A and B are shown apart, each in its own frame.
Chain A
Amino acid sequence: MALPEILTGMKVVIRNVFRKKDTVSYPEVRRQPFPRFRGRHVLDRHEDGLEKCIGCELCAGVCPADAILVVGAENTPEARFSPGERYAQIYQINYLRCIFCGLCVEACPTEALLMSTEYEISGISRDGLIFTKDQLIVDAPIERHWKTKKVVEPGSRLEGVTGGPQNRADSKKKVIEP
């Protein structure tokens, strides 16, 4: 009587026995996140070894969770850390506050702050998850996987267009005065 139902159920079981296993054995096998995955931050350097961060505190200002602390200081000829006038003397990110929204990266005027794809940052104390500048900064400049400038290929419909905000402002004006 119940045999057809049992067979219908077992059909699903048997089908899944021969299917490819869906489980990723995480600590042994690690899936590579997408390149734009927002993980732990890194502070970039210039080619000549100077820090890109100029201590402007824009990242700290824009952070919705108040996770970033920047204390800037003046560069001197004897102790030069960044190309400009100022550098970040103290740079801390509290990863227990950080919500990985990436607003700090967008705010950074020198592209000094970037987000890596590293996400294994569990800790056993609150103090240990406040990352300091030594932990965030990299030794060598980071190679970007994206293009910072758009290249217009010859023959494309964008050729000859002097784009940018100027053009957009003009087109807006046209709409306003009929």
Chain B
Amino acid sequence: MGGVSDALGANFVTAQLDKVVNWARRSSVFPMSFGLACCAIEMMATTMPRHDLARFGMEAFRASPRQADLMIVAGRVSQKMAPILRQIYDQMTEPKWVISMGACASTSGVFNNYALVQGVDQIVPVDVYVPGCPPRPEMLIDGIMVLHERIMRGEYDAGRNTDDVWVPSPYADQAEGTVHA
């Protein structure tokens, strides 16, 4: 599951070391500042004293993708922004995670049109979806808690597995377009 037992083979030493590594990764997730719209305001509010992301070691929003390992896509992603978002995601160092914050980033919400990417999971693998328009800071922290659980389980490449791809429901005509891994 984790990085150490993948590299050195799974035994009782690497399994315990994985737990320590995952705990360290969980405790200092550095987010990318990728605010695209109004969700970014709530993302900023989450770092403010009232909600204080520093409690989870996340207060440093990095402007450089090389220093970040979590991309919080906060806001609507336009077709023009999509290749830039993908490029910045590729520039981030492994292991990396993506939180799709709000209705626009997740499915484009009310903006069902040609100008916007219908869900950021069409261009990057998303680990946690946070609903809301925009989500209040507690909702984002709740999403971060879900992400922490995933990191503790060592699922840092979960979104890229082909078995983890979103499968259209029987009412696919009501739902969104196709999703790539």
Interface residues of A (CB under 8 A from B): 22-27, 30-31, 64-66, 69, 90, 92, 94-101, 119-127, 129-130
Contact = CB atoms under 8 A, between A and B. Distances in A.
B132 interface: yes
A124 B52 contact: no
Contacts of B171: 69, 90, 92
B131 A122 contact: yes
Nearest to A119: B139
Interface of B: 49-52, 55, 103, 106-107, 109-110, 112, 119, 121, 127-133, 135-139, 141-143, 145-146, 150, 158, 164, 166-167, 169, 171, 174-176, 179
A127 B55 contact: no
A130 B107 CA distance: 12
A127 B166 contact: yes
A65 B112 CA distance: 8
B51 A24 contact: yes
A65 B109 contact: yes
Given A65-B110, A96-B107, A122 B129 contact: yes
B109 A97 contact: yes
Contact of B49 (A23, A65, A69, A94): A23
Nearest to A37: B136
The 6 A-B pairs of least Cβ separation, nearest first, read A99-B133, A122-B143, A96-B106, A95-B131, A126-B166, A96-B107
Given A24-B51, A99-B103, A119-B136, A126 B145 contact: no
A119 B133 contact: no
Given A65-B109, A99-B103, A119-B136, A124 B141 contact: no
A118 to B, nearest CB: 11
A122 B119 CA distance: 16
6 contacts: A26-B51, A92-B171, A96-B109, A120-B142, A123-B128, A129-B106
Given A24-B51, A127-B166, A96 B138 contact: no
Contact of B132 (A22, A92, A119): A119
B142 A122 contact: yes
B129 A123 contact: yes
B109 A94 contact: no
Contacts of A94: 107, 174-175
Contacts of A119: 132, 135-136, 138-139, 142
A30 B141 CA distance: 12
A26 B146 contact: no
B131 A23 contact: no
A129 B102 CA distance: 12
